[in-house]
Structure 1
Amino acid sequence: MEKAAIYHRPESEMAYLAGKNQFRIRLRTKHADVHQVEIIYGRLDRIKQQKLAADREDMEIIRPNVEAMQCILKTDLYDYWEITIPVKVRERTQYLFHLIGDHDGELLYDTVNVRPYMADFLEKATPFNTPYYQNMFLMHSNPEWTKHTVWYQIMLDRFADGDENNEPLEKARWDLDKSTATNFYGGDLQGVIDHLDYLDELGINGIKLSPIFASYSNQKNDPVDFYDLSYMFGSKELFREFVQKAHQHGMRVMVQLPLDRMSDMALQWQDVQRLGAQSRFASWFKVRQFPVQVPDKNEDPNKYYLTVDGNIHMPKLNLQSPAVQQYLLETARYWIETFDIDGWEILNADEIDQTFLNLMTQQMHSIKADFVVMGQYQHLPNGDLAKGYIDSANNVDFYTIIHDFFVTHQLSVTEMISRINDALMKNTVYTNQTLINEVENFVTPRLISECNSEEDLARAIIAFTFMQIGIPSFMYGTEVGVTGEDVPANLAPMKWKDEEQSSSMLQFMKSAIAMRREYADLLNEGTLEWGQLSNKYRYFTLTRKYNDQKLFCLFNFGYGSVKVVIPKNSEIVLSQNLMEDENKIAQNGFVILKV
């Protein structure tokens, strides 16, 4: 057995509370190298003492617990083993790993070494320990409602124009003008209210809005005032009405929050430009030198002050300033207490100080217990999520895997499965359940465009995504065929005319969302098992199980058709390109069966 591949890390995604008095333990070994793994656990320290005092007749006999671990997932490099054991309050449980190979003997793994397994192992072993728990609190997990949510991302200016009284000064033609970085289409809150029934019929129960604050840009990523709502979207009274009506439709409301910047038109920044270091807001921004000047076109945009992505109109806030922290926390509280929103999505969360992020998350929870703080990241923050610094995040790893396998064909089936399994094993189960599986967002190309306008491929990707652990999310208009490459083309206005919509996409999305919501518990809580596959013909099967429920899936992304046998005791939940009379699935086809 390859000793260097054997790995376990206490108090991490490999060792954590999985419920009251339940502790989940993982072990990693080299792929196809270990035949069986047993965990030896209990009060091993007392058993040692018992052996040293073997001559005492009144000594209670204590024996270690020995149970077999289950191999739950495999990658091209490693196998992952898992078990859940009972633990007690205010008492540490010690544990060791007993590894059995096919041909080369047995090993004992403890905190110090990997050594040959011997009958007197307890006398020499240094066991791992579970943490000392004063209370059996659960590992950080999100409110139950999040597990059943399908998020629908709306850029307000591009969804629907419901009020002609709050139009921008220059308005683009909805069905004629191409989306640019600076044009406005006039979408507003009334437009969303007018289409809540449409979203309800689609099956949506989570609306994620682009920033809503007063701003001069069409995306509102550069707030002039965090307390103020953009006049282009309507009044605050209308926003309250929107949240109330969304709740009446069973929909949660999340708003994107650009926490790390303000507009160069904000009063605070204007004061800094006018008074320099003497301004009472001088410490609010990351100023490099006074007096503050606007860099020339040929100069470094960050010469005088730090900016967001080199945009001189978005000076970065100093989030370590107590005054800035107080201002942002108060405004975040204001929108929850006044309008009852259900979540914030923090933009550029990679660059937010962890301490402040944790403080904000805890304060939001104190106002509304089931509130969710999500982060939009470029790199997945495994530690932040596991420790509860933030509630949720976009699943960066998953998006990359989707792109590399389904779109660019950089991965084989085996490599795709290996990378998904590896990503799952980086986190606790609870963390994986909180991650947002986005197939697209405001800064990526549209899914259908990524698929070269092959709608059946886009539908197959969505079906695959809906079968994974985590929370699915897609952009407005994908359900009717809205396309667009990079920003700003991906932010085209919603298609509302029947003749412009893809009826096949719309019908599919209704069915897919209904399936996801019906089987939400299975898909978030259940096991994931990969079955038959072919790298040459690019097909694979997977099975999801939870209690007495079981879903079997076959996906085919090869050029030819794949034979499928549908058992008599099964029910087709969702399918595409299925030729039932020939028992075959064509390219980009799939079948999901309730067995």
Structure 2
Amino acid sequence: MNLGCIYHRSQDNMCYAKNESELVIQIQTGKEVDRVFLNYEDPMESEEFGGPWTWKGHPEEMLQVRELENHKWWTISVFPPYKRCGYFFELRSGDETCYYLEDGVRTDGSFMTGNVRLQYFSFPWMNPADINVTPDWVKDTIWYQIFPERFCNKKASLPKKNILPWAEGSVTNDEFYGGDIPGITSKIGYLADLGITGIYLTPVFEASTTHKYDTTDYRKIDPAFGTEEDFRELVDTAHKAGIRIMLDGVFNHCGYYLPYWQDVLEKGPESAYWNWFMVNKWPFDQTDPWTYDKKYYSFHFTAFMPKLNTNNDEVAEYLTETCEYWIKEFGIDGLRLDVAHEISHKFCRTLRSRLKALRPDFYILGEIWQDSMRWLRGDEFDSVMNYPFHNAVMDFFRDKEADSRNFQYRINKCYSMYMEQTNQVLFNLLDSHDTARLRTKLPDEDSFFQALCILYTMPGSPCIFYGTEIAMEGGPDPDCRRCMPWDAIESGAYQETCDMVKALIRLRRQEPLCRCPGLVFSDPEPNSRVITYRRQEDNRSLTVCINAGSTCTEVPEGCVLLSRRLENRQLLPGGFAVIK
């Protein structure tokens, strides 16, 4: 048995309270391990005050196992009657057995009958206030990301300068086409018909660029997008249609023309806002106010986006009050934090505490592209943008040499990183304003629809970028931010593509098993590119089959809920089937 592969800590995603009665415990082992048993008890039952110690617990087999690339990941739920849990693991590989405790590995079980107190793993108490609670509504939400400047131009009376005619094809970040908030409001019916139940808006606050990630006023809608009343009408119209609204908070950095930064540029260390920013060296080049030369921290070494000091209590209070304002005044439902991994944990904890006090089911999403456990312990974010999921799906379809077993390992890894309540609300995406568009990234139309089938049948909260429903194309930023081709859409040019996306969304909304936490992959043939997995809960399940190979494959018996390229139970290359 490879003892070096065995790992567990009694915290974070490896031991946590899922709710007030259920404790989830997980352990990583080598692949040679056949069976794992959890030995657990209330730690007070084995020890008498001033008397002998005897283990009185009992073993329970851990039957839920995920295959990772080099490991196995075992999971079990237990229900400690007195809210405490002491435990250790019994691992078996063929005829070999070992016991894994907090202080190491033992090769026989005689320690359980001795009088020496064990250094077992311990979860001290399941305090309700410490449980990671995520908004229940998010797991049922179908998100749609909108880049407002390029979505729909509706209100010609808004103060827009240098507006170009609505474009077809490639764009840059320098061109303004006049998309606005009334334009989004006018398309709520379109989004509701598509099946969308949540809109994620990239920044709408006053800024100088097309993308608006250079905020100059956090409490004002950009005049080119409309007014506060226009935004209120959008939120109210969306809510009446059953659609939630999530805003984008750019709190890691601000725009060059934010008044507080301008005050620093004018007064230097004498400015009341000097400590709102992170200045390395003063003075700046006064003859050229845009000179950067790394004399202050900024986003991505970009001179016009100076970095805010979220360690500063005044900054934290200003930004927190700003979020409270948009919730109280307009009733927004969620907040996505841009460049969230560079914001101070102290600020994130304060922000969560205040916003959840105001509205307990408010959704807080962080933009973090890597393992994000440190932000997902229940005191900062509810979720992160699931780019590991995005990468796993993209790599499989773009690399024809990748097999379904590797895909299984990577997806299982995604759902082993966090607590189950986090997995249920992970923000799953296949493209965004920061990536090339899905259709452009993938080699053909078949893989485009197969990838979307995976998106809508996996745990988490799925999101598509505006235009994905019509297979809109576009390269990396800024080309992914093209104008939505409304004339072609309304003429029916994309109807077939849109109908299939609608069907996938409808399946997701109508079939609870698509939204449940249970995910089990079938063991694939060597070098196969056929992906098969079950979504299961209690005694119910549905099967998803994706044929990315070059030959037909037979699908399981059952009721076909949705399919593409399925003939007489033979799934053709490029097809998918969802069967119950």
Q: TM-score, normalised by structure 1?
A: 0.92
Distance in 1, Cα, partners of 2:446 & 2:15: 41
The 5 A counterparts of 1:117-266 are 117-123=108-114, 124=116, 126-133=118-125, 135-137=127-129, 139-166=131-158, 168-176=160-168, 178-266=170-258
For 1:525, give the aligned amino acid. C
How far apart, CA to CA, are the structure 2 residues paired with 1:397 and 1:553?
Answer: 21
Number of the residue aligned with 1:95:
87
> 5 Å matches for 1:544-563?
544-563=535-554
Matches within 5 A, 1:164-563: 164-166=156-158, 168-176=160-168, 178-293=170-285, 301-409=292-400, 411-452=402-443, 454-496=444-486, 497-498=488-489, 499=491, 501-520=493-512, 522-563=513-554
How many angstroms apart in 1 are the aligned matches of 2:85 and 2:192? 49
Show CA shifts across 1:489-518 (max 9, x none): 100011212357422220011111111112
The corresponding residue for 2:34 is 35
| Structure 1 position 12 matched with structure 2 position 12 | yes
Aligned-pair distance for 1:167?
A: 5.1
Shift of 1:458: 0.9
Hey, what does 2:563 align to over in structure 1?
Answer: 575
Tell me the C-alpha RMSD between the 2 structures.
Answer: 2.4
2:93 equivalent to 1:107: no
**Helix, strand or coil at the partner of 2:200:** strand
Q: Which amino acid aligns with 1:225?
A: D
Describe the SS at the equivalent of 2:319.
helix
Shift of 1:413: 1.7
Counterparts of 2:306 and 2:99, CA distance in 1:
56
Amino acid at match of 2:22: Q
The secondary structure found in structure 2 opposite 1:585 is strand
CA shift for structure 1 position 127: 4.3
1:404: how far off?
1.4
Query: Secondary structure of 2:224's match?
Result: helix
Picking from 53, 57, 73, the partner of 1:64 is 57
Distance apart, 1:211 and its partner CA: 0.4
Over 3 Å counting, the alpha-carbon distance change for 1:403 and 1:277 in structure 2 is same
Distance 2:132 2:401 in 1: 35
Residue equivalent to 1:57? none
Asked if 2 retains the 8 angstrom alpha-carbon contact of 1:26 and 1:83, the reply is: yes
Give percent identity, aligned residues only. Answer: 27
1:78 aligns with 2:71: yes
Q: Distance in 1 between matches of 2:84 and 2:3?
A: 27
Name the residue aligned to 1:587.
573
What are the Cα deviations for residues 432-479 of structure 1, in whole angstroms up to 9, with x where unaligned?
A: 122111111111000000014x22211110101222111111100111
| Range moving further from structure 2, 406-415 or 583-592 | 406-415
What is the rounded CA distance, in whole Å, between the counterparts of 1:537 and 1:98 in structure 2? 34
CA distance 1:166–1:203, shift in 2 (3 Å): same
Q: Is the 8 A contact 1:157 1:188 kept in 2?
A: yes
In structure 1, stretches of 5+ residues that fail to align are: 55-60
Letter in 2 for 1:75: L
Kept after mapping to 2: 8 A contact 1:386/1:431: no
Greater shift, 33-42 or 254-263, is seen at 33-42
Alpha carbons 2:206, 2:212 under 8 Å: kept: yes
| Matched AA of 2:565 | N
CA distance in 2, matches of 1:373, 1:143: 9
Q: Answer yes or no: is the 8 Å Cα contact 2:199–2:245 preserved in 1.
A: yes
Q: Distance in 2 between the 1:221 and 1:286 partners?
A: 18
Q: How far is the alpha carbon of 1:259 from its aligned partner?
A: 0.8
The letter of the residue matching 1:442 is H
Gaps of at least 5 residues in structure 2 are none
| Residues 276-307 of structure 1, C-alpha deviations (whole Å, 9 max, x = no match) | 2222222222122222337979x984422222
The offset of 1:177, in angstroms, is 6.5
Q: CA deviation at 1:227?
A: 1.2
Counterparts of 2:57 and 2:122, CA distance in 1: 15
* 8 Å contact from structure 1 (residues 295, 301) kept in 2: no
Question: Contact 1:20 / 1:137 at 8 angstroms: preserved in 2?
Answer: no
Counterpart secondary structure, 2:415? helix
TM-score, scaled to structure 2:
0.94
CA contact (8 A) 2:17 2:126 kept: no
Does the 8 Å contact 1:39/1:69 carry over to 2?
A: yes
The answer on whether the counterparts of 2:169 and 2:482 sit within 8 Å (CA) in structure 1 is no
In structure 2, what residue type is equivalent to 1:365? K
